[in-house]
Amino acid sequence: MYFDFCCPYCYLAQGYLTRMREGTPLEVEWVPWEIAPETPPGGTRRPWRGLDRLRGMGEPVDRPFADLAFTPHTREALQAVEHAKPSGRADALVERLFRGFFAEGRDLGDRKTLLRLAEEAGMERVGLGEALDRGTHLPTLVANDRRAEEELHLEVVPSFLRGGRLLLAGSTTLTFPEFREAFPRLLP
């Protein structure tokens, strides 16, 4: 799944996937794709529109929304996911960071907040901090961006692929029942 932490529909899709994975052997590869690289390091302050609709969509899968008034800069949060993959902590980190921002209103662009949330997801703060300082995973983000735009011609997140083939893109209007109906296409 190509995703970004600033996308409420990615948060919903992650909740939908979590619900669908209950009792179903399904592996999800999280592919971080920074969809708003122009967002300044301190984030963008603006009230979110459509929160009532999003809350309604998230309720069946326990995806609450705080009263959001900003959009975070997500580059380091996306790098953290790449850092979490070798240790098998990516699922836990994605869950914690999505909830941290959308449910709790925490700023994922703030390094201290990011490291605290990553630690809560079972990651080591020091190792992640060092990787972020070095920009260890920036080349992967650049490669993900290039592949998404130039090879796959993706335009939106969340986008679901299997075997390099696009299965579902921009499920921004799908409710959980609609997603569940489309879900068999995502299974191997």
Contact 107, 72 (CB under 8 A): yes
In eight-state DSSP terms, residue 185 is G
Tokens of 180: 């569940």
pTM: 0.93
> Where is pLDDT greater, at 167 or 146?
146
Q: How far apart are CA 178 and CA 87, in angstroms?
A: 33
DSSP 169: E
Q: Which long-range contacts (CB under 8 A, 24 or more apart) does 55-58 make?
A: 57/12, 57/175, 57/176, 58/11, 58/12, 58/15
In this structure, the chain runs to a length of: 188
Q: How does pLDDT run across 61-81, given as a tens digit for each residue?
A: 999 999 999 999 999 999 999
Q: Which residue has the higher pLDDT, 174 or 94?
A: 94
Please, what sign has the CA dihedral across residues 164, 170, 173, 176? positive
pLDDT of residue 116: 98
Work out the mean pLDDT of the chain and round it to a whole number: 91
pLDDT digits (tens, 9 = 90+) for 71-118: 999 999 999 999 999 999 999 999 999 999 999 999 999 999 999 999
Residues sharing a CB contact under 8 Å with residue 58, sequence separation 6 or more, in sequence order = 11, 12, 15, 64, 65
Confidence category of residue 165, pLDDT binned at 50, 70, 90:
confident
DSSP string, 44-102: EE-PPS-HHHHHHHHGGGT-------EE---HHHHHHHHHHGGGT-HHHHHHHHHIIII
Distance CA 122, CA 106 (A): 18
Q: Which domains does the chain have, with CATH numbers?
A: 2-186 (3.40.30.10)
